[in-house]
Structure formats: structure tokens, C-alpha cells
Structure 1
């Protein structure tokens, strides 16, 4: 799949933009704060109906405007899609696919698949569990629309249960209501754990193979699902365990004022040659493991939807050494790639037959080959 055309109106620093994209490599070159990441952000928005930088749509709207508009023509193997998003400061966002109004975000998920790799993703190994849970959730939201619904419901019930836990000391009668929420939490939680377990099995297999190639067989990568309730068995057993915990250990949760067990406490353990990479891995090993995980995302989506997703590389190349850059670029021949960098010197190693280079300056975009003709895509 690939984005053929992107249109933006009053989006971030773009008043009006219509941009034709190459189905191969698209390189956006410019200094910081010129609008490069705004382009990739709008493309990422197509997949999850959200930004990877903020949870508030209002921040995507040009500062002096009330509305923003994103439109993209997407080419897929089985069909073409026109996706439209109208963002407003005053109303709920409006979504259309091929001119048909979509009322639920879950109905859009999976139409476009996007994998993004940014400097923040290099923290995937060495930072806290929240980074790794977000990595898992973002992937599953794209390939399992029911997962997105279950995750939303789980987080909603979790918040309600936590609020009740804090109130039970002063209102003991709320304990009965908390038990009702415990049943719902166990139901949604067991679904999430089951989906994560299946996903991590695939992730571990693919990432291991990719990591072997990057390290020329010198390192063995292992990805382990660190389920907060212990070793995962199956959905039914997980539901029983969660419900038993939520009921029998409620006093412990009341004392702490939070729910101590469940998918919101899950993590990944990432090992290289048997050692925990977060604790014992060098910075180079941690970055290689992160790269293996992100490239595994691409392959998992390919196995699920039978075509490659769109890949975004946002200012990440300068963070990788030449060996990792080479491996990454050689892996992208069949993938539409949107790449940002700060200097023309950064693109000398990109030997792609099918590529376009765009210069970004103050929200204006021009093709490198057309600079002398002053062909401006946006002004």
C-alpha cells in the first residue's frame, strides 16, 4: 500500500498543501521546526486517527484557525481509498472513507497501516514498561480492531474501579460496585492478554531472525511476554485468575488506591544472548534490538494484511551507525517510506532508483529536482 496524494488545509503550519508522493522513497529535508514532522504526523494519523505526538486534535489545527482538514488517496492491492478527516475546535471530528461518513474510529482502523520509527523508539528497550506497552497496543490497534475497543473499555473500567477503591475507605458501600467493575475488568483484561500473547509470539520469532541478520549471527534476541499475573496460559484461565485477584485482594488494592494487577502492568523482557538487554546491554545492542522490533512490525503487518505498511523514519537515521543504516535501507525496497532528515548530506547513502527528495522550509515544500524552477507545493 502507499499514499498517492496528501492534501492538508490549516494543519499545523500548513495553510494549504497538495503533495504527490512516490510509492518508493520520499525524503523530506529541512532544518528543525520547518514542517517535516508535521507531514509524517498527518500520514500517521491515517492509520490510528490520532497523532503520535499529542492526544489533542486541537493542537493539529493551525493556531489562528478553527478547523483543519486531512485528505489522502491511498492505493492498496485490493482497492483504492480516499480518506478524509475534518478536525474542529468546536465539534467532534468528522471522518469519511470513499465519501461515506464513518461514525466509529474502530471502523477506520486497518484501512491504512503505518509503522513509525523515531528517535523516541530507540528508548523502547531501556525505558520503562509504558513505552513497550504502547508499542504493543499501537500495533494491535492496527491489525485487530476489536483490540482497540477492548483496550478503550478496559482503561475506562480501570479508571472507574480505581476511583471507587479510593472512595471505599469513606464509603464502604462502594465495595459492591467495585466488585461489579472487577468482573468487567477481568473480561476485557483477559482479551487483551490473549491478543498480546499471540502477537508477542510472532514478534519474538521474526525479531530473532532479523536480529541475527543485523549482527551477522553473533547475537540471539529473545522477546518474552512479562504478563503481570505470571506465565500466560490461556484466556479462560487468565479471566479466572484476574477475577479471583480483584475480589480476594481488593483490600490490598484499596490500601494502595490502585489496581495492582492486570494488562496495564504488563511488560516485555528483551534479552540478547540470555541477558536482559535493558540492564546489561550496551547502547549499541539496545538500539539494534529496537531496530529489530520496529522492522518486525513491518513483517507482522505484511503477514496479517498481505501487503507492506507505509514506513515513517522521522529523524532517526542520524541516530544509527552506518551498518544499521545500510541494513534498514536494504530492508525497504518494497515499502513506501517517508523519511525526514536535516541535511542534504544525510541522503548521499540512499541509493534508491525510485525516490523523490523534497526541501522543506517555513512550511513550503519543493522537489529537489525542481528547485531551480521554483516549483512550490505550498505557500
Structure 2
């Protein structure tokens, strides 16, 4: 799987742009605030129909304009695919895939699969549990329609249950209705998350040993708010009991206190909690191992080689970690944004496409002018 072409109109700081990509390595170079990240943001948009930087679609429209347009063409197993997105300040975003209207973003699942690694991903390891849940949800929802649907239904049910709890009088039968819905969807979420983390743990542990030259062992631990059970029936029964136990506190606090919306993911390096005691370098390596493990998970789950976007992270890694990165990703299409090109990357990828960005415009070069 690889992206062949990107077309933009009034997207961020781009007035109009059409560019073809190399199927292996694309290095996007330029000074800060020129539009490098905007370019890969548009690429990412084609994957799940949402930005990785903002939840407000209007932010994607060029200043002073009413509508932005993004078209991404890709090749998947020798079959061409195309995603077109129109974002209007006053109307709902419209998406088409291969000429057909996309009514739900879940219709984009497993179409163009993209993994992004940026400096913000350090937050997955070092900040609040919400960041880690968001990571799990985004990666699972991107390739598993069943998870996407289950998560969407759970969020709607949770919202309804919380609204019910905020009423001055809570109707027991109505609360019971929401409880049963939460038990069904929540139990499935817990079980799918557990399977995902177990598999990602296997991949990331191997990758982490390689990155650190076997000096560190990484272990991931799923920390569900409601205990994981081996069978679906047992999981639902445990979930039901936990909701019953928390009923009084839920009524008092007027919110749902138990469920997967409280889950967490723990990182351990050589047996030590990386969030609490790891150095920033160790935390960054944990995040990198996690992101590379996604590619292995995607390949095993879908048979496809995911596309990797590396947004301004090469300068954050030491030489050994950069070397590991470029030498192990030769089977995936890469997009690398940077202010300066590392000669080591060009040495390993001499045919890489260099895209120079300046003020929302790009110039394609055979190689950077300073080499």
C-alpha cells in the first residue's frame, strides 16, 4: 500500500498543490512554519477522515476561504483507490471514496492505513490516561470496523446514562436500560483492547530490544477499570456486578464512575514504570517502539504494509535510534518531515524523493541543494 498523489486546494496555508510521491521514501524539508506538517496532515486525513492535530474541521480551511479540498490517490494491491474530502465552514464535511459518498467515517476503515509518529506522541507515555486510551481507540478503530461501531455505541450510551444521572429524579428502569447497553458494549471493548495490547506488547518488546541494542526490556500492561475475563459471559457478569456496586456513588456524583472510559495502559522498562521513573529519552523510545509495533499489528491483521508518517522526530532521536529506524522500515512507504536532511538517511535511501516546502509551496528536487 502506498500513496501516489496528493491534491490540495485552500488547505491550511496551501492555496493549490498537486504532488506525486515516491512509493518508498519521501523527505519533506523546510524551515519551521512553512507547511511541512500541514502536508502530512492532509495525507493522514484520507485515512480516518479526521485530523491528528485538531477536532475543528474549520481550522483546516485556508484563512479567508470558505472551503478546503483534499484528494489522495493510493495504490493497494495493484488496485487504485481515491479519497476526496471537502470541508466547508458552513456545511458538514463531505467525503467520497472511489466516487461513492461516505456517510460514516467507519467506511474508510482498512482503506488507506496510516501510522503517524510525532513529538506529541511522547504524551502517550508521560501524560494522563486519556492520551493512552485515545491511542488505543484510534489504532483499533482504523482497522477493525467492529471496534469502531462498539466504541461509538458505548460513547452514546455513556452520554445517555450520564444525562440520566444528572436528573433530579433518576428513573430506575431507564438507568437499568442504559446499564445493560453499557455491559454489552463495554465488555466487548475490554476484550478487544486486551487482545490488542497483548499483541502490541509482543511486537513492541522485540522492537525495543533492537532499538536499545538489548540494553532495555519494554513491557506493556493493560490496566482495565473493570477486570478482564476470559469469556464474554463472565466479562458481562463481572461488569454487571461492578455497576451495581458503584450505583450509589454514581447517583451521588451524577456521573458513571466505572467502565472502559477509565482504562489505562502502563509502560515498564526493565521492570520500572516508565511514566513515573523513566527518563525523557526512555519515554521517547517507548513511544517509538509502540508506533513501530503498530505497523506489525497492521500487517498481521490486514496483510497490508501501513504507511508511516514521521513528523519532525528524526532530530529528537540519537544516531543509533535513527539508524535503526531507517534500516528497518524499507518495506513501508515513509514520509519524513525535517528542517535538515540527515545524510545518513540519504545514504540508506539514495532514491528518496526530496520535497522542499516554503510558504505553502513546494519544489521537487533530485537531492537537497546543500548535499
TM-score range, shorter chain: over 0.9
For the Cα contact (< 8 Å) 2:75–2:81, is it kept in 1?
yes
For the Cα contact (< 8 Å) 1:190–1:236, is it kept in 2?
no
What is the aligned partner in structure 1 of residue 344 from structure 2?
349
Matches of 1:59 and 1:323, distance apart in 2: 37
5+ unaligned residues in a row in structure 2: which ranges? none
Aligned to 1:240, which of 231, 237, 241?
A: 237
Matches of 1:74 and 1:215, distance apart in 2: 34
In the alignment, does 2:243 pair up with 1:218?
no
What is the aligned partner in structure 2 of residue 258 from structure 1?
255
Aligned to 1:294, which of 287, 291, 312?
A: 291
**CA displacement at 1:232 relative to structure 2:** 4.0
Question: Higher mean Cα deviation, 30-39 or 229-238?
Answer: 229-238
Matches of 1:294 and 1:304, distance apart in 2: 15
> What is the TM-score with the length of structure 1 in the denominator?
0.93
What is the aligned partner in structure 2 of residue 66 from structure 1?
66
**CA displacement at 1:262 relative to structure 2:** 0.8
For the Cα contact (< 8 Å) 1:193–1:235, is it kept in 2?
no
**CA displacement at 1:293 relative to structure 2:** 0.6
SS at match of 1:242: helix
Matches of 1:124 and 1:249, distance apart in 2: 29
SS at match of 1:124: helix
Question: Higher mean Cα deviation, 291-300 or 174-183?
Answer: 174-183
**CA displacement at 1:371 relative to structure 2:** 8.8
Matches of 1:239 and 1:89, distance apart in 2: 43
For the Cα contact (< 8 Å) 1:106–1:146, is it kept in 2?
no
What is the aligned partner in structure 2 of residue 4 from structure 1?
4
Question: Higher mean Cα deviation, 129-138 or 210-219?
Answer: 210-219
For the Cα contact (< 8 Å) 2:246–2:258, is it kept in 1?
no
Matches of 1:320 and 1:14, distance apart in 2: 29
**CA displacement at 1:330 relative to structure 2:** 1.1
**CA displacement at 1:370 relative to structure 2:** 8.5
In the alignment, does 2:193 pair up with 1:196?
yes
For the Cα contact (< 8 Å) 2:190–2:228, is it kept in 1?
no
Matches of 1:228 and 1:370, distance apart in 2: 52
Alignment root-mean-square deviation, CA: 1.7
**CA displacement at 1:93 relative to structure 2:** 2.0
What is the aligned partner in structure 2 of residue 46 from structure 1?
46
Matches of 2:230 and 2:368, distance apart in 1: 59
**CA displacement at 1:231 relative to structure 2:** 4.2
What is the aligned partner in structure 2 of residue 171 from structure 1?
169
Distance 1:151 1:339, change over 3 A: same
Question: Higher mean Cα deviation, 153-162 or 49-58?
Answer: 153-162
Distance 1:334 1:354, change over 3 A: farther
What is the aligned partner in structure 2 of residue 377 from structure 1?
none
What is the aligned partner in structure 2 of residue 30 from structure 1?
30
In the alignment, does 2:80 pair up with 1:80?
yes
For the Cα contact (< 8 Å) 2:227–2:238, is it kept in 1?
no
For the Cα contact (< 8 Å) 2:85–2:95, is it kept in 1?
yes
Matches of 1:248 and 1:284, distance apart in 2: 42
> What is the TM-score with the length of structure 2 in the denominator?
0.94
For the Cα contact (< 8 Å) 1:164–1:175, is it kept in 2?
no
Cα deviations by residue, 1:31-79 (Å, 9 ceiling, x for unpaired):
2221111111011111111000111211111122221111111011152
SS at match of 2:126: coil
In the alignment, does 2:179 pair up with 1:182?
yes
Matches of 1:371 and 1:250, distance apart in 2: 63
Matches of 2:367 and 2:192, distance apart in 1: 48
The number of equivalent residue pairs is: 367
Cα deviations by residue, 1:98-143 (Å, 9 ceiling, x for unpaired):
2122222211111010000000112221111111111111110111
1:109-120 pair list within 5 angstroms: 109-120=109-120
5+ unaligned residues in a row in structure 1: which ranges? 373-379
